[in-house]
């Protein structure tokens, strides 16, 4: 079975990484689609977000993961690659409400089934919005608690040094 985990990952957090780790226990390989949601104002551009995802994946998992920057509609990617399962992360009831709406769209536009996974307990309150706020308010040192160290260091280079 082919699985996809799509998101803007702006930036990728330890919560995202824990969902990926849990998914790898169920699926042989996972396409991680770094989507460019045009309705969002991203802190990091698509290339930077893709690099942050690459930096967040442990080397032991890289052979089982395909990381793809993607500009189009994720449903089109799912159909083009004959993806069987869409992995979605949920942390709380608010996430679930949004994800159920998204599932309706996926169900009507693809043949994929949706599987919901929550992050490991220690990352249940982690979200990209919080990490973005740390970066935007120059509280970079607080973001390290929510990101893989290598991704954090790369994000600092992008944000502070303008790379």
> According to the annotation, is 89 in a ligand binding site?
yes
Q: Which 3 state secondary structure label does DSSP give 139?
A: coil
In 3D, which of 61, 77, 55, 100 has the Cα closest to residue 5? 77
Q: How far apart are CA 155 and CA 163, in angstroms?
A: 9
> According to the annotation, is 126 in a ligand binding site?
yes
> According to the annotation, is 123 in a ligand binding site?
yes
Residue at token pair 């396409």: 31
> According to the annotation, is 32 in a ligand binding site?
no
Give DSSP secondary structure letters for 14-73: HHHHHHHHHHHTT-SEEEEEEE--TTS--SS-HHHHHHHHHHHS-GGGGGGEEEEEE-S-
> According to the annotation, is 127 in a ligand binding site?
yes
In 3D, which of 138, 83, 150, 137 has the Cα closest to residue 111? 83
> According to the annotation, is 33 in a ligand binding site?
no
Q: How far apart are CA 55 and CA 44, in angstroms?
A: 14
> According to the annotation, is 56 in a ligand binding site?
no
> According to the annotation, is 129 in a ligand binding site?
yes
> According to the annotation, is 156 in a ligand binding site?
no
> According to the annotation, is 42 in a ligand binding site?
no
> According to the annotation, is 18 in a ligand binding site?
no
> According to the annotation, is 12 in a ligand binding site?
no
> According to the annotation, is 128 in a ligand binding site?
yes
Binding residues for substrate: 8, 40, 74, 88
Binding residues: 8-9, 16, 40, 74, 88-91, 99, 123-129
Binding residues for ATP: 8-9, 16, 89-91, 99, 123-129
């Amino acid at each position: 079975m082919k699985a996809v985990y799509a998101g803007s990952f702006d930036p990728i957090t330890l919560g995202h990484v824990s969902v990926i780790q849990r998914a790898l226990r169920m699926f042989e390989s996972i396409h991680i689609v770094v989507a460019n949601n045009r309705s969002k104002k991203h802190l990091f551009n698509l290339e930077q977000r893709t690099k942050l995802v690459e930096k967040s994946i442990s080397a032991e998992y890289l052979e089982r993961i395909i990381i793809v920057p993607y500009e189009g509609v994720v449903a089109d990617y799912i159909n083009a690659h004959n993806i069987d399962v869409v992995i979605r992360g949920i942390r709380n009831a608010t996430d679930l409400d949004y994800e159920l709406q998204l599932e309706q769209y996926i169900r009507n536009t693809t043949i994929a089934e949706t599987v919901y996974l929550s992050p490991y307990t220690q990352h249940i309150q982690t979200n990209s919005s919080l990490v973005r706020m740390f970066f935007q308010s120059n509280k970079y040192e607080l973001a390290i608690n929510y990101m893989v160290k290598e991704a954090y260091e790369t994000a600092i280079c992008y944000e502070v040094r303008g790379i």
